[in-house]
Amino acid sequence: MLAFLINILSTPSILVGILALVGLILQKKPVEEIVKGTTKCIVGFLVLSAGASFLQSGSLLAFGDVFNYAFNMQGVVPNNEAIVSYALQDFGTETAYIMALGMILNIVLARFSRLKYIFLTGHHTLYMAAMIAVLCKIGGLSGLPLYIGGGMLLAFISAASPAYCAPTMEKIVETDELALGHFGGFGYWFSGTVAKLFAKDKDNSTEDINFPQRLTFLRDTTVSIGITMVLFFLIVTGIAVAKGILNEDPAALLAVYPNLGSLLNVGAETQTHWAVWAITSGLSFSGGVYVILSGVRLIVSEIVPAFRGIAEKLVPGAVPAIDCPVVFPYAPNAVLIGFLVSFVGGIVGLVLLSVFNNTIAPCALILPGVVPHFFCGAVAGVYGNAEGGIKGCVLGSFLHGILITFLPALCMPVMGALNFANCTFSDADFSVVGILFGNLAQRVQGLPLLIVCIVIFAAPIVYNYVAPKKVKVAED
């Protein structure tokens, strides 16, 4: 039963569908509206997930590998899925209990504190639960104390991450009824904060870029992303081919670059030329983004109205926190700019780490992972654009790229202490939690660590009942 419950909770489409169902029932909607709203929410998440999986398993990972080969990059590629898969082998039960309890306590926190956000990105909840399970174990907790302490910590993080992203999120979506539920939140907040340096230029949005008359077709997101990524694929793949990637032993090459199978099968007379592979890969990238945007539009159109039932009946003021692509439709140009500039920031960050490693002290060299720089960099671009226009988008996403390069490097000693020496998380919140709580868990053991978790969870609730609430004054 526990495995079945965790399977549901870690499947975003089913989880959001259930919440939409509950919300619509609480609003006493007709049966036909309940069926329609629930089904469209589930289908929307499945469409979004299909687009994301299509990108990651195809164009994104292939581009990362061909880029690393072309420019001879060596180091650690941050990957959430890889490190979680290792953690679940030894901490699967602990992760399951923490995840289940954490999601319940997230609702409790939303009900009795001012952190009204209910985190709905199930797979990220699973990833954070796995990290917390390992950290609590290192801190000397086991059994029920581990489940309680870990669940409380997970609930706090799940409510706090959307909270500090909320001010800029409201500017993006123009409502306070939708929040961002993704554990890259610290990076998005950071991007929006530094973008405020150009607050006077925030009306000069990326979405208002004036193209010459003959280039107005570039305002179509699918076209602009497709052409841009085709150019990138052609250039990078051309460099890799010039270095002899097609002449190397495929088996040996795939051992190092496992996502280049489709490229290494080209070259023969009956197969596709590498340039055609690059063109189709770039256009496939654009297709994946199109699918993601379609899924997001479907979700948002249904989840916000459905969630009002929960907000009105069970948790007054509750706000759904949705996965990061939820912001993509609001600033498609910023999505593309944010990805590309964040990736450049990742390269600059790698160079800075190399200099630090060679001159000051040994440190992990973090390669720019295309997946985090696309999804997280794109959101950082949207946040930067909302606070500082085009200049804010560029600065925010560039510094975000450097940030998600340095944070995993700083988190690597903790990962090494956990026997995950060659792995680290990619998104900002994982690294922040790993650095802060990981070092704490190595110094504060047993009952004191559980007390810390209880205090962290209880503090927002106590604050809600002790601190005076702001009273909104009606305007004449």
Distance CA(250)–CA(262), nearest Å, equals 11
* Radius of gyration (C-alpha) of the chain in whole angstroms: 23
Read off the pLDDT of each residue in 349-366 and give the average, rounded to a whole number.
Answer: 84
pLDDT at position 475: 47
Token pair listed for 433? 């939690």
Q: Name which residue leads in pLDDT, 462 or 123.
A: 462
Do the Cβ atoms of 364 and 74 come closer than 8 Å? Answer: no
The predicted structure's pLDDT at residue 476: 43
Structure-model confidence comparison of residues 22 and 423, the more confident one: 22
Window from 3-17, 43-57, 69-83, 140-154 with minimum mean pLDDT: 3-17
Check residue 308 and give its pLDDT: 67
Q: Are the C-beta atoms of 198 and 389 separated by less than 8 Å?
A: yes
Q: Is the predicted pLDDT of residue 24 greater than 80, yes or no?
A: yes
Is residue 398 within 8 A of residue 443, CB to CB? The reply is no
Please state which of the ranges 17-31, 97-111, 217-231, 398-412 shows the lowest mean pLDDT: 217-231
Residue 145's pLDDT is 92
If pLDDT is split at 50, 70 and 90, which confidence band does 344 have?
Answer: very high
Helix (H/G/I), strand (E/B), else coil: 72: coil
Give the per-residue pLDDT at 221: 67
pLDDT at position 413: 78
Of the two residues 126 and 98, the one the predictor is more confident about is 98
- CA distances (Å), origin 439, targets 407, 415, 425, 445, 449: 14, 11, 16, 11, 12
Q: What is the pLDDT of residue 253?
A: 86
Nearest to 108 by CA among 148, 155, 164: 155
**What is the rounded distance in angstroms from the CA atom of residue 295 to the CA atom of residue 287?**
13
Looking at residues 64-72, what average pLDDT do you find?
81
pTM (2 d.p.): 0.79
* pLDDT over threshold 80, residue 347: yes
Nearest to 127 by CA among 418, 462, 426: 426
pLDDT surpassing 90 at residue 96? no
DSSP string, 402-420: HHHHHHHHHHHHHHHHTT-
Cβ burial 239-260 (10 Å sphere, 16+ → b, else e): ebbeeebbeeeeeebeeebebb
pLDDT recorded at residue 425:
80
Average pLDDT over every residue of 99-107: 85
The pLDDT assigned to 382 comes to 95
CB 329 within 8 A of CB 172: no
> What is the spatial distance between Cα 58 and Cα 80, in angstroms, rounded to a whole number?
18
Q: Tell me: the pLDDT tens digits for 207-222?
A: 887 766 665 565 666 7
Q: Tell which wins on pLDDT, 168 or 295.
A: 168
Q: Is the pLDDT of residue 11 over 90?
A: no
Which of 162-171, 226-235, 313-322 reaches the highest mean pLDDT?
162-171
Q: Of all residues in the chain, what percent carry a pLDDT higher than 70?
A: 87
pLDDT by residue (tens digit) across 184-204? Answer: 999 999 999 999 999 888 888
Rounded-to-integer distance, Cα 423 and Cα 135, Å: 15
In the chain, what is the greatest distance between 2 CA atoms, to the nearest angstrom? Answer: 77
Q: Which of 105-109, 136-140, 224-228, 311-315 has the lowest mean pLDDT?
A: 311-315
Q: How far is CA 225 from the centre of its chain?
A: 20
Ramachandran sector of residue 363 (left: φ over 0; alpha: ψ -120 to 50; beta: rest):
beta
List the alpha helices (DSSP H) in 243-331.
250-256, 261-264, 274-313
- The HSE-up count of residue 441 (CA atoms within 13 Å, CB side) is 28
Q: What percent of the chain has pLDDT over 90?
A: 29
Question: How many Cα atoms sit within 13 Å of 466 on the Cβ side?
Answer: 6
pLDDT of residue 183: 93
Confidence of residue 10 (pLDDT cuts 50, 70, 90): low
